Structures are given as structure tokens and as C-alpha cells.
Amino acid sequence: MSDENLGSVQYGRPSQVPFGSLTGGAPQQHQVRHRQLNNPSGTAASAAAAAGVPAASSSRPRATSDYGSIRASALHQARLRIESDVDCVSYAPDVTVEGTERQRLVDNSGEWYFESQHAVSGEELLSAKFESLDYDTCENSLWAAEDQSRTVWDLRRIELCRWLVHLLIGVVTGAIAFFIDVCIEQLAKVKYRYMKSMLDRCIFHDCLIYALLLWIAFNFIFVLIASCLTVFGEPVAAGSGIPQIKCFLNGIQVPRVVRLRTLVCKVLGVLFSVVGGLAVGKEGPMIHSGSVVGAGLSQGRAASFKFDLGIFEYFRTDAEKRDFVSGGAAAGVAAAFGAPVGGVLFALEEGASFWNQGLTWRIFFSSMTSSFTLAFLLGFYRGIPNDLSNPGLISFGKFDKLDYDLLHLAIFACMGVVGGLSGALFNTLNEHLTKFRHRYVTSKLGQLTEAVLVASITAVTSFVLIYTVRSCQPLGSDQMEYPVQMYCPDGKFSSMAALLFQTPEAAVRSLLHDPVGTYSVTGLIAFCLPYLLIATWTYGVMVPSGLFIPSLLIGAAWGRGVGIGLNLLFPTHFTDPGKFALIGAAAQLGGIVRMTISLSVILIEATGNVLFGLPIMVVLMVAKWVGDYFGTGIYDMHIELASVPLLPWEPPSRSAAVSAQAVMSSPVTCLYRQERVSRIVEILRAEPHNGFPVVSGDLGPGTFGTFEGLVTRNQLICLLDMRLFDDGDPNFHLENPVSLSDFRRVYPRFPSVRQLQLSEADLMKSVDLGRYMNPAPYMVLHTCSLARIFRLVRGLGLRHLVVIDHRNQVVGMVTRKDLARFRATHTGDLKELQFTG
Amino acid sequence: MSDENLGSVQYGRPSQVPFGSLTGGAPQQHQVRHRQLNNPSGTAASAAAAAGVPAASSSRPRATSDYGSIRASALHQARLRIESDVDCVSYAPDVTVEGTERQRLVDNSGEWYFESQHAVSGEELLSAKFESLDYDTCENSLWAAEDQSRTVWDLRRIELCRWLVHLLIGVVTGAIAFFIDVCIEQLAKVKYRYMKSMLDRCIFHDCLIYALLLWIAFNFIFVLIASCLTVFGEPVAAGSGIPQIKCFLNGIQVPRVVRLRTLVCKVLGVLFSVVGGLAVGKEGPMIHSGSVVGAGLSQGRAASFKFDLGIFEYFRTDAEKRDFVSGGAAAGVAAAFGAPVGGVLFALEEGASFWNQGLTWRIFFSSMTSSFTLAFLLGFYRGIPNDLSNPGLISFGKFDKLDYDLLHLAIFACMGVVGGLSGALFNTLNEHLTKFRHRYVTSKLGQLTEAVLVASITAVTSFVLIYTVRSCQPLGSDQMEYPVQMYCPDGKFSSMAALLFQTPEAAVRSLLHDPVGTYSVTGLIAFCLPYLLIATWTYGVMVPSGLFIPSLLIGAAWGRGVGIGLNLLFPTHFTDPGKFALIGAAAQLGGIVRMTISLSVILIEATGNVLFGLPIMVVLMVAKWVGDYFGTGIYDMHIELASVPLLPWEPPSRSAAVSAQAVMSSPVTCLYRQERVSRIVEILRAEPHNGFPVVSGDLGPGTFGTFEGLVTRNQLICLLDMRLFDDGDPNFHLENPVSLSDFRRVYPRFPSVRQLQLSEADLMKSVDLGRYMNPAPYMVLHTCSLARIFRLVRGLGLRHLVVIDHRNQVVGMVTRKDLARFRATHTGDLKELQFTG
């Protein structure tokens, strides 16, 4: 900035400025345009006092004595203008806009006002808890300087670090999966062996009630541990974590979702909830765990433990972190299902919006490494070290022969319809339960009680099932580890007990691969219905709980039932019920979660059979179409219930006539290039917003200052924290060089404005925002349609989009919340087509 | 527009306009800012005469008499300004720009000038042949009206049509694949049966030379047919078509690439080139064929045959067409390799930039349908109807057992290195050959001669190989259809002849699955080297030719050689050479084409083995890394050689300090909202550009008119063709309603401006561009960095990006060619990192 501006920071200015002063080459004077919406007294001094900072006027006589009266009148005018903003968007009536264009603006203003009235509640609803992430790069002068200072070798080093981090993500995620696998196996072995011997003894001694009590006790204790870890340890570790990761990748900062503490609680919690006999799987939590690993390793530190390696500092931005979280999620899927390609597709289908080839390769690398690590460790554990092709990778056992014809395909499609219906039922029940839970089960004690209640009821139901459904099958070439005889004759065992005396994952394997005749149709139906209800209840209880395995189990049960039934009707056909179990499993899972591509690939990889891909795809498609008729998938449903401003893939239909003005937030608080510290502090305290446009030029009726750039709250806080107060001194930045590293160091936990320790003298100084602002953020004209804005924000992962008028003056801002809010208030009229989901 | 403006189209205006006239609510006057760079006389009249339209001044006395003198001086000023543009970007020296900002602009101007000097040759080089596609929606008032008029049922119908078209794409692509498969099978049967009997006879009668001549004759005739189809039928059908489709999906209009004529020539051509014994496969051409099917079916017409169904009219935009072409490409891969998931990933890895969940599902649906159709038809053809799980889907035979350990993995990685090196060699040789061919083999006769020469030499080489390499193997449980005895004792056959007496695809299958001991190391090496050279030569010859199969064959040969060699060294280990053949095939193909994810999945699906996925991925990654060290993949290499302005995935490294001003084209020809027909015609004739910003307000030194919107050449031509001349009459549009359909009807073959039949009276009328322009196209500030511009253009598939200054005045335009050109002129300094490819 030129020297003449030193210290001439002003708080207002007459609105009528001769045109010549802008074009005549005179040095610009910089003002603050400060919106005192909550300060009806209308003077800057009282505003400053109200906001808790010393009033500028009292401590800086020169500024006030020079411009005091002008300031007061300018502020008064500004207030008037702000109020008129609300009435007519952004064009004060005395501004000339061309013919038709103006007509349209005036026509729209009424509607906009209506919008803004509705918006208040929507905003509060949506913004209470969730901040947005910013996946855009702030391309300020520091960034340019850093970019210029890099050699080709620096770039190579960063690239190498990226690959290295992805490698580490794969290794660590694979190791975690191994840890969970082995712990569950060992704990389940203890539990079921003890239970079996108890049951076997009690059948003869008529002490079945003690066996039941023992079972309840086992479940109670394990689930209590899991629930304590979640409720007292980290509540965000509850559930599968997939909705949270989906939100994170979409650009929403779900608090504490990728912290180390969350990881620990999730991993230990899922162990105990699976062993506790709940209708849950470890797959969803594995995906969440992988994501935390990705976020943690890429930052090279763990804030929960005040531990900082100081490496990978370059990756401390939202955009870089997102990439590693995608890699972690993919690695999680790869480890959970032995499906590396499925992992990549999961990360893409559920998360990423901008497809980047290089990133996808790295995600793929994480997935591969994770699969490899798990296979390698499992090989050692199972005593066949060095054999990487062991079936550890294949979660659901390998099918040797799966043939099908057109008739099969037709039946499978019908099963897809059943899966869609049953999935919709599951989701609807779960939705009501979740609403109930949000309202009534809010205390920690209540949550713990619910968890152990579910655990006990699961045990009781299982026991009743085993006791009542007396389907006996001969002991044969089956896979049961603990065949329970119950009331069956010698040499036979209770197939129901076999199904319930193992973890749900093992039960799925049994249903897919047990020989013909192991289960009866009645037994499967008797198992299926209560299990569906229990699983519905379980998803949402305060324990880490995956949804994939219970869904697959329910589906496999009724699918196998269908297969057996068909075989009874046509004894020469349909001899392989396992095939139908697989299709049923796919149908049920597809009906609940509504994924198609990644789920197809996951199932293909998890069963090791490529040939059966086509029927699986058909079933998933049908299940999705049918289910979408009744509502969204379960993850989206939970995201909606949590009022998260998730942006869908496509802009709302028929949004062409909705313009930026109807969507944007207005008025916007703007800053000047050379800005006084006390003003910045005041604004940061008074305003919840994150992005502030930087403007120059004139204020007054109908003029909003020329848009120059955008500065974010975090940048401002860093500036203040580092005391980069130059007071217009051109040599200041030479003497106090800062780099982007200084900003990244505090990422992502920037101090709040109230934590800043600024002296009175500091507050009187000024900052040159020009160096730190983004000089060319994305922006649109106010005539832009909602569809276009949506595509821009969604496609590039923006947090702020500045709306300008035809004079390049800031008239509004569009953020993720504006888009989400707009959608929320328009559900009737502009609701999205559910046909494609 | 207001009535006062009727007929007051002016060609200039005093540059000093009082500020009040803009803000005082007076009706705006509209001018044309016309750049007469090639017209040094400086008057509008002579300019119009030079451009071949009647001069406005002579036929419209009112306009000239009123404004004549003013116009002349304004034009003179404009000319001065234009010249100063070239010197100092966009800011005339008398415009005040703020302190540092101005400094930067002035500093940059020298560099920009340097750029613009370089740019001329780059532009000519890049733009000679290729137009860009526009994947953005023009959101004008017609679009808004159409959008508003749609009911929910219309939206559902469009969505249903989308799925229907994707279904049809799958069915037709599958049927084409079936046709090619069966024809090749039948023709090859005739050829090789005849050859075998000839050879068997000639061994005894010593007439081998006649057998050779017969072989040459076969190859000569088949390849001559294929080459004639390409050279005289449709030259763009040559090669694999994958580079062309990659360009299309990237946003480049490769002429005639998705026409029906191309499809016919490609399909018939590839038949004959495969049967003609060339080292080619049908896979690449299948992908191209699928893409043509996608483009054709979605438009509901075939322009080559003047055939229009009139359906799917809504899909006649670049963006919609692109989606269907993606679906077609995926369906092609699915049919070619029996790899539906691989198809989806191929479409994404090679083509799409913006990942859209709904689109991906539809692409997946096309892939599935295509696989299904092919399996269904092949089932019928092979006499096992109704069995969809027959191995027709699996192209390379099914592996039953593929185990591996760490040692294997290490060996595979080394093979990946070999594949990368060998692929780089292949690409380098092919690059030199292609350059040679571009220079010397340009006549049709030359191209035909080269094709038949390659065919003959292939036959001779094969014959010499069979004759000299006398590795005899016992007739056993092999898969050879035509075992040739040659000089082998009875009960044995020549393994070399077996390899060469089938199509390359069948040969790959043999190398993967033939029992241990079928081939010798020396035989494989003797086969491998000449085949590599021939394949290098073949790719680029004017016949449809896929590269996948020859690459896989070369790799499988040396891979099997490695396996046999290892087994000789360690007789108890490495007993399965087929495993090594598969890895070698993957390594070689990965080294040549440098795809990883889609190729992994394609190979996994084509061999039906999920467990072997990890080694394949490792090998492909290693081969890619090694190969990338020496240069790009073969498709990218061919795209570069063709000077296509392909945009890579990432912006150039270290481009932070490069601003929009250095990249943009300037000056830009702008139009006014109410524009005279003669002006439009003149501009369209004189300028090659496609997008014209619409501006309002003042012209003069340092003022460029306020940016209002963007209108494209095609829109202008349609407007003129439909004679939508309103002359400012507000009732005109009520009396002459047009809709977007009228514009889509002529898509994509808009008439040229010279084909328009406009009368003298027409030329005097004026058009309201406000209705047709895009009122809020994407735009950036002139301070925007190259990286940001790149991400915007690449991410959203834009054709034009308007650059504005801080007053919202148009200072430049950035198009794909500007970005590509910028990259081309900066290869030394800003070359992209090749580490990630």
C-alpha cells in the first residue's frame, strides 16, 4: 500500500464521492464497512463497547476527531441501506439497472424476502453443530511465494510423501483389521465354547434357565463395555461411522470424527459389541477406523495426545486431508471385506465428487496395501505364513460353481424386489426409532441402559429361538465349530443353535456354504423376522455397530429360504440354496444401504466369484429402485435426521428460474484491504461467519464496494495471533516474513477469537489483508441460476461463493448451508427426483 | 428492450460519458464494439465492405447521418486502444488501478506480450483440426422457460429415457461384439483349416513355398479389405480409437469420430485386420464402436444416412452426448473383455472428470447389459442357450488355482520392471514410426501399401518362425484347434505353429492355460522379439487395430518364458508357468498403456480370479512407474503427436504466479444485447471464435463494457437462420415463440455462416441477444491463477471462461486451447511432474 494511507483507517465516509476520485489516480482511502445489525444505537463506539473491545473513537482521537460526524451519518445511511437490502435484495431503488433485467430483480425480491424469512429457522437447524470444510485452495501471495520457491525436487518429495502416507494408511488399517479379527475370534471362542458346554450339560440336568442367564450375562458385560467406551469415551464412535465419513468427504466437519480417541473407542467398542452377541458387524466401524487412520497419519500428529511428529506439514489443509481420508475409507473396506477394488469404488461412490486420476491411484494403493497387510498377518496367525493367497482375504467363502440362466435371473430380480421392500421396512422402522431415541434417550444412563437392554433381549430371543425351533440336522460336512445338540437325537444338531452360536459374519458364511438340507424353511423364517426387528433396534444404539453383516445375514436367511422352497416345489431344479442365500443377502443389503457399484464389487470380491457378478448387479439395481420409491437409504436417512447440510449429487430439479439472489445470504460483512485490528476483532466476535469479502472503493446507498478478494476467519485469527500488524509500513513484511507453514501449524484447531491476547496498542494497529486474502476466489453474477451455483460448489468443494452484481460489487454469499437450507425449505416444490437416487 | 432503441444501432460513441447517464435511469444505448484488426482503413463502412456485407452506413442513412462523425473518431480511438491492449494486457495507462495491484499488472505485461507472441504458432498448431465441446449448460431464458414448463412427469420421462438409451447401448454393443466374435471365429476357421491342410501336405511334397504364398495371399487380401475400408471409407476408424474417445470425453470434438459411417468401417475393418493375421486385437475397436453406438442411439438419428427418429431430442447437447459416449465405451470394454466393472472404471479412468453417482450407475447398467447380451447370444451360438454363466464372458479362460507368496510377489515386481522397460521401448519405437509415417506415408496409396506390406511381412515372419524354431511337443490335453506337425515326429506338433495358427486372442489363452511343457524358453524368446517389432509397426497402420491383445501376447510369451526358466533353475518351485504368463501379460500391457485401476479390474474379470488381484495390481503399478520414467503411455503419446489440446488431470506444477492475464486470449470481440444482424454476420465471418461476451455500457480508452453474458457462434447462427429479428419490438417474442428444441434440432451440425441466406433487409434488422445469451457464465477475475482456471475448466468441462477486471469488464477469454497452448509453450519451465502420470 502507498505510504499516504499510513494510519488513515476510517470508519465511514460520505456516500457521495465524485467519480473522479476513483479514476484520477489519487491514492485510495480504506474504510470499514461494518454491519451493526444487532446494534440499533447506530454508532461505532457503542458497537465496539457492546462487542467487548475498547471503542475505537475513545482511544484513537485522530480518527474520531477527523471523521466523527461523517462516520455517524454514514453509519446511519448504511443501516438504512441494510434494511432496504432485506426488502429488495441488493439493488437500492435509485440504482439504474437495464430494462428487463431490473424488472426481473424487482419481481424476484418479494420471493427472496419470503425465502429469507423461512431461512432463519433452517439456518439455525442446519448450522447448530456442523461447520463446513473448505476444499478450495486460498491462492494468496504467500501461496504463490511458496509455490515459486519450490524446486522440482520439492514437488517430488511431496509426491513421494503422499504415496508414503497412503502406504502407511494401508499398513496400519490392515493391522487394525487383523487386531479386530483376532480379538473377536478369540473372545467369541471363549464365549461360545463355555456356552455350549453349559447348554449341553443343562439339557440333561434341566438347568436351561441358568444357561440363559449365563448367555445374558455374557452379552450384558461385553455390551456394557462397548457402550461405556462409546458413551463416556467418544459418543461419535457410535454406529457404523459411514454417515459421518460420507459427510466429511462431502465437506462437512463433523466434530471429533477423525480423532485418535474416536479410533480407540471405535476399535475396542466394536470388538465388544460383536462379541456381545449384538446384531452388528465390524465392517462399517473398519471403514470409519481406516478414515481416522488416514486423517491422523497424514497430519503426522495426534491432537488428542498432544503428540506432533512435525512431518507431512504440507498436508495440513482440508483438501489434502480429505484425500487421505478417502484413502483410509477405501483401505477400511479393503480390509473388512478383502475387496481392494470395492474399497476404491466405495470411496468414490459414497464420497468423492471430483474424480482425480492421481488420487484414485493412491487410494487404490492404500486399498491394496491394506488387503496385503491383513492377508500377510492372517497367514502368520493361522500358521500358513508366506501364503498370501489364503482365503483370509475372502470374507464370505469361495463359491466354486455358480451357474444361472434366464429363469434364475427372473427369480433373482423378484428377490431384488423383496429386498427393496424389506430394506424400506427396515429403514422406516429405524427412522421412527431414531426419532424416538433423539427425543427420549438422551441421558448417558439412558443410552447405557438401552444398549444392555438390547443385548439382553438379543440373548433371550436367541435362546427362545433355539428352544422352540427344533430343526435337527445330521452332523456332516458342515462348518459349525460348536454344534449344539439341544433336544436333537444323537448325531444330529440344532441348526438354529448353529446359526446363533457364532458371530453374525460366520453365520452369513454358514448360510452361503452349508450343504443342502442344513436348514429348514420354517427355521429360516423363524430366525429371519425377529432378527430383522432386533437389527433394526440395534442400529442406533450407543455402541460401534456395522450394518452390513446383519443385513447380509437377514437376506441370506430369507434367500436361502427361497432357494429351499423352490427346490421343494421343483425338486429337480434349484438344487443349490447357497446361491439364493447370496442373492438374498445382496438384495437385503442393497435395499437398506442403496449402493450399487461398490456393493457389487465388494460382494464379487468377498465371494471370489466374478461370473456371478451380473446377477448381483441386477439384484442390487432392482432393490435400489424399489427401495428408493419408499425413501432414501439408511445412511442418508440418518444424515437427514441429524440435520446435516449434505449436498446431494445433482442440483434440485426445476431450479432454473431460481437465481443467486434467492439463494444467497445477504447482506455480507466486508473488510477492507488495510483493516484495523479492533474492527477485525469486533467482527469476528459479533459474526459467526467464516468468509469475509475484501472490498475497495465507495460505500453508500446502492454501492457495496468493489470485490477484491476473500479472507477467512481462520486466516484473520492467525494474523492477529501472529501480530502481523504492519500499519501500512511497506518494509514490515520484509522484516517479519511469514509463510503458509505458519498458518498450517495451527490447522485444524485454530484458536477462537476470545483466546487471542491482544493489548490495547495492538487493537489500534492495522493489517494489510491484501497479502493474505484469496485475490480471485470463485464468484458468480447475481443472475446465476441455482443449478449452476450448485454444480460449482459441489463440483469444486467450495465453502464460500461470492455473488457479485454487474458492477463487481459484493451483493451476497452462497455457502453450503445456503444451498442445503434452500433445499430444506423447498422440499414440497423443488424436491429432488428420487428415481435415480 | 426499450422502444427508444429501435434502430439506433451505432458503431461507436464518444468515450467520455457523464457518470449520470449510467445511473440516472435513462434508457441505455447499445453499440457494437467491433475489432477491425485486419482493416487498417479504420472506418466501419469499409470494414463492412471488406467483410462482404453491405456497409451499414450506406444503406441506413439515419444511423450514419446522426452518428457518422462521432463514429469515425470513436473507431479511431478503439483502434488505438486495441493496439495498446497488446502492449499492456487490458489496462490502458490512464485507468487508475490500486497501488500494488497496478504494479503487478504493469510488471506482468511484458511477460504476457511474450506469451502472446509465442501463442500464435501454438494456436495454429493446436486449433487446425479440433474444435472443443461445451459441457456447460447455456442457462438462458429459453432454458429457464423450458425448465419451468416441465412437470415432475416430464422429468421422470427424461430420466426413464436416459435409462432406456443406456439399455439400448448395452444391447447393441453386446450384439456388435457378438457379430465380430462370430465372424472372426468363422473366417479364422476357414483360413487356418485351409492353411493347415496345405502345410501338412507340403511337408511331404516339399512345396512349402506355396504354403507361404497362400498365407501371404490370405493376409494380403483380408488386410487390403480392412485398409480400403479405413482409407477410403473413414480414416478416423484407423487404430484402436481409444485416444480419440479419450479426447472426446476430455471435451475435444475429433471430427467424425462418433459417426455411423465410422462404426461400420471400424466393425468390418477390425474383422478383416484380425483375420488378416495382423498383430492386432478387437478390443480397442470394440470400445470405439461402443462409443459410437452411445453417441448415435442417444441422438435418435444417423446423420450419415439422413435418418432421424425424432426421439431423445432432449439429449442433443454436448454434455448429454458425452454421458452416453461414456456409457458406450464402458459397454464396449464390458463386451470385449467380459468385464462390466472394468468397463465402468475404464470410462472413469480414461474419460470422465466430474464423478457423478447417477451417471455412473447408468454406465454400469450399460456395461451389465452389454455383458449379458453377449453372454446370451454366445450361449445360443454355442448350443448352450439359456446358460448365462458359460465362459463366453471370460475372455482369457478361468484359472482354478493361483497361489503366491512373498517370493512370488518380489519376482512379479521385477517382471513389472521388465514390462515397464519393454513398454517404454515399444512406445518409443512407435513414436518414431508415427512421426515418420506422418511425414512420408500420407497418400492413400502409400497407406494401403504399408498395410499390405505389414500383412505380408507378418506372414513371412510367422512362417520363418515356424520353419526355424522346431520345438515339438506331444499332442495332449491342449487347446489347439489346428495342431500343425511340420517336421515334428508323429504324435507331436510344433508349438510355434500352434501359437501362430490362431488369432492373437486365442494365442494369449493358450499361453495362459496350456499345460506345463508345451513351450520352450528359446521358442518363446524367438517368438517374442519379432512379434514385438511387428506389433510396434502395426499400431498406426491404416487399419482398425486394438493394442491390448498384441501387448498381452508379447507379455504372456516372455512371462511364460520367465516361469519356465525359473522352474528350470528351481525344479521344485514355480511349477505353473501360466501364472507367470498372466503376470507378464499384465506387465507388458501396463508398460504400454499405463492404466492401473481399470486394467487390474479388466484382467481380474477376464481371468475370473479375484485372489490374484493383488499381484496384478502390484505389477501394473510397478510397470507404470518404470514406464513413466521414460515417457507417457501410448495413447497420450499419440494424442500429443496429433497436437490435440487435451487437458491433463492436474494443473501444471508451479503455476501459482501465472495469472489469468498470462493465459487468456485478448482482445475479445464483444457484442451488445441489441445487436444488428449485419454486424453479427460480419463478426461471424471474420472471427474464428466460438464464444462472444455480451456487454453493455461504455466503450473508450480503458473501458471495455460491462460483462452481461455469453453467446456462442452456434446460437448466433441459429438465431440468424430462424430470423429471430425483433428490432427491439417487445411483442416479437410473443408472436414468434421459440424454444430450446429449435436450437437442438440442428445439433450438432450447425450450418456455417456462409450457408445462411439473408436478404439485404434482414441484414438491417437487429436481434435481442439478451434472450439467448447465457446470463451468468463462469468467469474469473484477471488476478486468478492458472491453477484455479485450470481446475475450473477441467472440472466443469467448460469451453469458454470469461476473464473480467475489477470493474466487471471483459478483459479476456480463456479456452481449452489457451490452456493447452500455455502448457505447450512452457514445457521447459512448467512441465508437469510425471511421477503420478
pLDDT tens digits along B13-67: 333 333 333 333 333 333 333 333 333 333 333 333 333 333 333 333 332 223 3
3-state per-residue secondary structure call for A279-337: CCECHHHHHHHHHHHHHHHHHCEEHHHCEECCCCHHHCCHHHHHHHHHHHHHHHHHHHH
pLDDT at A9: 29
Instruction: Answer yes or no: is pLDDT of A708 > 70.
Output: yes
Residues B378 and B412 in one domain: no
Contact criterion met (CB < 8 Å) for B348 and A355: yes
- Report the distance separating Cα B726 and Cα B772, nearest Å: 13
Q: Which of A194-198, B136-140, B345-349, B591-595 has the highest mean pLDDT?
A: B591-595
- Going A731 to A673 to A689 to B804, the CA torsion angle's sign is negative
Is residue B760, in this structure, part of any structural domain at all? yes
- Report the distance separating Cα B802 and Cα B695, nearest Å: 12
Contact criterion met (CB < 8 Å) for B601 and A341: yes
Instruction: Answer yes or no: is pLDDT of A230 > 90.
Output: yes
Q: Which of A16, A610, A654, A832 to probe by mutation at the B interface, max B CB count within 10 Å?
A: A610
**Which chain A residues are Cβ-neighbours of B605 within 8 angstroms?**
610, 613
User: How close A53 comes to chain B (CA, Å)?
Assistant: 31
How does A138-159 read in b/e, with b if 16+ C-beta sit within 10 Å? Answer: bbbbbbbbbbeeeeeeebeebb
pLDDT at A348: 83
- Report the distance separating Cα B486 and Cα A305, nearest Å: 76
pLDDT at A58: 30
Report pLDDT digits (tens) over A106-162. 233 222 222 222 233 333 344 456 778 888 888 888 888 888 888 888 888 888 999
- Report the distance separating Cα B129 and Cα B639, nearest Å: 13
Per cent of chain A over pLDDT 70 is 78
Residues A557 and A612 in one domain: yes
B495 vs B231, residue with greater confidence = B231
Q: Which of B160, B393, B780 shows the shortest C-beta gap to A776?
A: B780
Q: Which of A326, A357, A809 to probe by mutation at the B interface, max B CB count within 10 Å?
A: A357
Q: Which of B142, B388, B696, B833 to probe by mutation at the A interface, max A CB count within 10 Å?
A: B388
Contact criterion met (CB < 8 Å) for B354 and A795: yes
Give the pairing type, strands B779-781 and B800-804.
parallel
pLDDT at B91: 26
Mean pLDDT of all residues in B696-723: 84
Of A333, A366, A336, which is closest to residue A350 (Cα–Cα)? Answer: A333
Residues belonging to chain A: 837
Within 8 A by CB and 6+ apart from B365, the residues are A621, B163, B166, B167, B170, B327
B27 vs A656, residue with greater confidence = A656
Contact criterion met (CB < 8 Å) for A24 and B796: no
Q: How confident is the model at residue A727 (pLDDT cuts 50, 70, 90)?
A: confident
**Which chain B residues are Cβ-neighbours of A24 within 8 angstroms?**
96
Instruction: Answer yes or no: is pLDDT of A257 > 80.
Output: yes
pLDDT at B560: 94
User: How close B310 comes to chain A (CA, Å)?
Assistant: 24
User: How close B563 comes to chain A (CA, Å)?
Assistant: 18
Report pLDDT digits (tens) over B516-528. 878 888 889 999 9
pLDDT at B478: 53
pLDDT at A18: 31
User: How close B52 comes to chain A (CA, Å)?
Assistant: 33
Average pLDDT of the residues of chain A: 77
A792 vs B395, residue with greater confidence = A792
Instruction: Answer yes or no: is pLDDT of A785 > 70.
Output: yes
Mean pLDDT of all residues in B699-712: 81
pLDDT at A661: 86
pLDDT at A176: 96
Q: Which of A386, A608, A696 shows the shortest C-beta gap to B406?
A: A386
Q: Which of B2, B781, B795 shows the shortest C-beta gap to A99?
A: B2
pLDDT at A446: 93
* Surface-to-core class of residue B90, CB atoms within 10 Å of its CB (0-12 exposed, 13-18 middle, 19+ buried): buried
Is residue A101, in this structure, part of any structural domain at all? no
- Per mean pLDDT, which range of A237-246, A427-436, B595-604, B815-824 is the poorest? B815-824
Q: What is the CATH number of the domain that holds A783?
A: 3.10.580.10
B278 contacts B454 by C-beta, under 8 angstroms: yes
Average pLDDT of the residues of chain B: 77
A738 contacts A718 by C-beta, under 8 angstroms: no
Mean pLDDT of all residues in A321-329: 92
User: How close A400 comes to chain B (CA, Å)?
Assistant: 9
Per cent of chain A over pLDDT 90 is 30
Query: What is the DSSP annotation of A436-466?
Result: HHHHH--SHHHHHHHHHHHHHHHHHHHHHHH
Is residue A34, in this structure, part of any structural domain at all? no
- Per mean pLDDT, which range of A286-295, A789-798, B734-743 is the poorest? B734-743
Alpha helices in A539-612 (DSSP H): 548-569, 577-593, 597-607
Instruction: Answer yes or no: is pLDDT of B177 > 90.
Output: yes
pLDDT at B353: 60
Please identify, among A642, A672, A707, the residue that sits at the C-terminal boundary of a domain. Answer: A642
pLDDT at A272: 95
Is residue A817, in this structure, part of any structural domain at all? yes
Q: Which of A24, A613, A804 shows the shortest C-beta gap to B808?
A: A804
Residues B424 and B495 in one domain: yes
User: How close B556 comes to chain A (CA, Å)?
Assistant: 22
Instruction: Answer yes or no: is pLDDT of B237 > 90.
Output: yes
Residues A585 and A516 in one domain: yes
Instruction: Answer yes or no: is pLDDT of B99 > 80.
Output: no
Mean pLDDT of all residues in B411-438: 95
CA B58, B63, B69 angle in degrees (round to 5)?
A: 90
**Which chain B residues are Cβ-neighbours of A655 within 8 angstroms?**
147
**Which chain A residues are Cβ-neighbours of B782 within 8 angstroms?**
776
Q: What is the CATH number of the domain that holds A206?
A: 1.10.3080.10
pLDDT at A555: 96
Q: Which of A308-317, A572-581, A736-745, B385-394 has the highest mean pLDDT?
A: A572-581
pLDDT at A389: 64
B90 contacts B666 by C-beta, under 8 angstroms: yes
Write the ipTM. Answer: 0.80
Taking phi first (over 0 means left), then psi (-120 to 50 degrees means alpha), and beta for anything else, what does residue B659 get? Answer: beta
Residues A369 and A487 in one domain: no
Give the pairing type, strands B800-804 and B810-815.
antiparallel
- Report the distance separating Cα A736 and Cα A730, nearest Å: 11
pLDDT at A413: 95
Mean pLDDT of all residues in A647-652: 81
In the DSSP assignment, the letter for residue B229 is I
Q: Which amino acid does the sequence have at A336?
A: A
Per cent of chain B over pLDDT 70 is 78
Is residue A586, in this structure, part of any structural domain at all? yes
**Which chain B residues are Cβ-neighbours of A349 within 8 angstroms?**
357, 360
Q: How confident is the model at residue B659 (pLDDT cuts 50, 70, 90)?
A: confident
Residues A677 and A601 in one domain: no
Instruction: Answer yes or no: is pLDDT of A763 > 60.
Output: yes
The structural domain count of chain B equals 3
Residues B670 and B630 in one domain: no
Q: How confident is the model at residue B83 (pLDDT cuts 50, 70, 90)?
A: very low
A551 contacts A589 by C-beta, under 8 angstroms: yes
Of A548, A471, A543, A606, which is closest to residue A267 (Cα–Cα)? Answer: A543
- Report the distance separating Cα A150 and Cα A39, nearest Å: 48
Cell, residue B181:
466374435
Taking phi first (over 0 means left), then psi (-120 to 50 degrees means alpha), and beta for anything else, what does residue B310 get? Answer: left
Contact criterion met (CB < 8 Å) for B160 and A605: no
Residues B414 and B368 in one domain: no
Give the other-Cβ count within 10 Å of A117's Cβ. 11
pLDDT at A126: 45
Report pLDDT digits (tens) over A807-824. 888 989 998 878 877 665
Residues B362 and B415 in one domain: no
A414 contacts B398 by C-beta, under 8 angstroms: no
Q: Which of B143, B600, B618 shows the shortest C-beta gap to A656?
A: B143
Does pTM top 0.80 for this prediction?
A: yes
Domain span at residue A428 reads 406-642
Q: Which of B100, B152, B613 shows the shortest C-beta gap to A341?
A: B613
Instruction: Answer yes or no: is pLDDT of A172 > 90.
Output: yes
Q: Which of B388, B605, B696 shows the shortest C-beta gap to A404?
A: B388
Q: Which of A341, A776, A785 shows the shortest C-beta gap to B139?
A: A785
B132 vs B508, residue with greater confidence = B508
Please identify, among A382, A417, A438, the residue that sits at the C-terminal boundary of a domain. Answer: A382
User: How close A654 comes to chain B (CA, Å)?
Assistant: 5
In the DSSP assignment, the letter for residue B387 is -
Instruction: Answer yes or no: is pLDDT of B75 > 60.
Output: no
B31 contacts B13 by C-beta, under 8 angstroms: yes
Report pLDDT digits (tens) over A62-114. 322 233 232 333 333 333 232 222 222 222 222 222 222 222 232 332 222 22
Mean pLDDT of all residues in B186-199: 89
Residues B333 and B467 in one domain: no
Residues belonging to chain B: 837
User: How close A24 comes to chain B (CA, Å)?
Assistant: 6
Within 8 A by CB and 6+ apart from A336, the residues are A177, A282, A283, A286, A287, A395
| HSE, side-chain direction, 13 A CA sphere, residue A719 | 28
**Which chain A residues are Cβ-neighbours of B406 within 8 angstroms?**
376, 386, 388
Residues B637 and B698 in one domain: no
User: How close B651 comes to chain A (CA, Å)?
Assistant: 12
**Which chain B residues are Cβ-neighbours of A2 within 8 angstroms?**
99
Q: Which amino acid does the sequence have at A334?
A: A
pLDDT at A590: 95
Is residue A593, in this structure, part of any structural domain at all? yes
Is residue B662, in this structure, part of any structural domain at all? yes
- Report the distance separating Cα A164 and Cα A133, nearest Å: 25
B691 vs A81, residue with greater confidence = B691
**Which chain B residues are Cβ-neighbours of A833 within 8 angstroms?**
152, 155-156, 159
Contact criterion met (CB < 8 Å) for B357 and A837: yes
| Interface A-B: count of C-beta contacts within 8 A | 306
Please identify, among A328, A349, A382, the residue that sits at the C-terminal boundary of a domain. Answer: A382
Q: How confident is the model at residue A54 (pLDDT cuts 50, 70, 90)?
A: very low
How does A44-60 read in b/e, with b if 16+ C-beta sit within 10 Å? Answer: bbebbbbbebbbbbebb
Contact criterion met (CB < 8 Å) for B614 and A375: yes
Of A373, A365, A363, A390, which is closest to residue A336 (Cα–Cα)? Answer: A373
Is residue A50, in this structure, part of any structural domain at all? no
Residues B501 and B442 in one domain: yes
Q: CA gyration radius for chain A?
A: 31
Mean pLDDT of all residues in A339-354: 80
